[in-house]
Structures are given as structure tokens and as C-alpha cells.
Amino acid sequence: MQASWRCAKKLKRFGSFCLAGLPTLFLLGLLLLRLLNTRVMESTAGQVMTLDSALPAQAALLPGARVYSDGDVSPIVADRIAMTYRLYAKNKVKRILISGDHGQKHYDEVNTIRQKLLDLGIPAQDLFMDHAGFNTYDSIYRARDIFQVRSLIIVTQKFHLNRALYLANVMGVPAQGVVADRRRYRSHRYNEFREFFARPANLIRSRLLKQKPRFLGAVIPISGDGRQTED
């Protein structure tokens, strides 16, 4: 009975010690996240260009985001489309790789975005669709391994751009980034909060885990005809 009492007392002390240490562990975790975010941001700062300062590249990468069943797109996607069109019109890129979620029949980011670019007058042969670009990591990986892209201009919002550039650097894809922001988005605070965790997660995935995308497949060189990616 006495032994049981002593054991319970030790467990109580241990529990109190763990609870007292939780704030310290939380602060250490927060510090680590901040350091990893700083690493991603600082290592890619010199790769962020403007429309005029960007050097010519083989292709623009236009990552997908929310689109709608009526063919409309979210403001974030609309701004990515507008900036990508301007890069193409200024001969900064010869090809456009649209990478997004087309994992379900009733939701199709890539064809929706492609149609918007076709409506702007970009030839179908210059538009490539990556139907399995479910996230930024997969998009960069597949741009390199499936589409054989040798140099990229990544077109996305400021909150997202440095992470995409960092992944390109880790995967050995020469990349520049151009900010697509043309307005303040309603999801601004959420985007920044999510990105604070996404940057360290992608750093770990690319540097330590070195995972492959969910899907790979046959090679489709970006130097060819984009109409072969039609479905």
C-alpha cells in the first residue's frame, strides 16, 4: 500500500514537471518554425523579380487554386492568369505549365485556367496541363521530372512565392519568381498563417524525407506540343 502511494506521488510530480515544461516546449517549437521560415525567405529573396526584370525562361509555372463549376476563377487565380499572360506577351516565356488539382471529375483547375488563357489568345500548343499538381511540392517535382523543364518563372502570390522558389532550388530547377498580387485578398490573414507552417513542412519534405509525388507517369517534354496534355 505504501509502495503504491509512493508511486502515485512520483507520477504526480512527473506530471507537474511536464505541465510546467509545456510553455517552454511551445516557445522552442515556435522559435524553430520562425527560424525555418526565415531560412526559406532569405535564401530565395534574390530570385523574386518584376515583370520587366525577369530574365527569359523556358516556361512559366502557373499553380492552380480555387476555381468554380461555372468556369469562373477565384481572385488569386485571376491574378496569376493576368501576370502569366503578360510574361508570355513580353516573350519572357515560350510555354506555360498550368499545374493544379484535377483529381476529381467535377473539379478541374487546369482546364478551367487553360480556357482563360486560350480566351486571351495564347495558342493551345503553348499551354501544358499538369493534372496531378495537387500541391506546390508535386508541381515543382513534376515540372522537373515529367515535363523536363530546364528553367522556370513561377507566377504566384507573394505569400506563396518564396516556398515555391525554395522547392525549385532544392530540386535543382533554375527558377525566378514574379509576384501576381494585384489586390488584397479576403483570405490574406489565413494565407499568411497557413504559409507559416507550410514553409517548414515543405523544407522537411524536400530536404529530409525527399518524397516522391503521389503520381508521376510518362515524360511530356515542355518543348513539345501542349495539346498532348488535353484530356
By three-state DSSP, how is residue 26 classified? Answer: helix
- Tell the burial category of 172 from Cβ atoms under 10 Å away from its Cβ (0-12, 13-18, 19+): exposed
Percent of the chain with pLDDT over 70: 90
Reply yes or no on whether the pLDDT at 124 is more than 90. Answer: yes
How many C-beta neighbours within 10 Å does residue 50 have? 8
pTM reported for the whole predicted model? 0.89
Mean pLDDT of 185-196: 94
pLDDT in tens, 59-85: 999 999 999 999 999 999 999 999 999
Domains, the chain, with CATH or none: 45-229 (3.40.50.620)
Question: What mean pLDDT, rounded, does the chain reach?
Answer: 92
Residue 17 has what pLDDT? 52
**Amino acid identity of 37?**
N
Distance CA 140, CA 137 (A): 5
Instruction: Supply angle C-alpha 223, 229, 231, rounded to 5.
Output: 170
Pairing of strands 152-156, 57-63: parallel
